[in-house]
Amino acid sequence: MKLIKIKEVMNVTTLSRATIYKYMASGRFPKSVSLGGRAVAWVKDWVAQRVSERDEETVKS
Quickly count: other Cβ atoms within 10 Å of residue 42's Cβ: 23
Q: With a cut of 90, say whether residue 12 has pLDDT above it.
A: no
Q: Which DSSP letter does residue 38 get? A: T
The pTM score is: 0.73
Residues facing residue 35 across a β-bridge: none
* pLDDT of res. 61: 64
Q: How confident is the model at residue 24 (pLDDT cuts 50, 70, 90)?
A: very high
- DSSP codes joined into one string, 9-21: HHHHH---HHHHH
Which residue ranges make up each domain of the chain?
A: 3-60
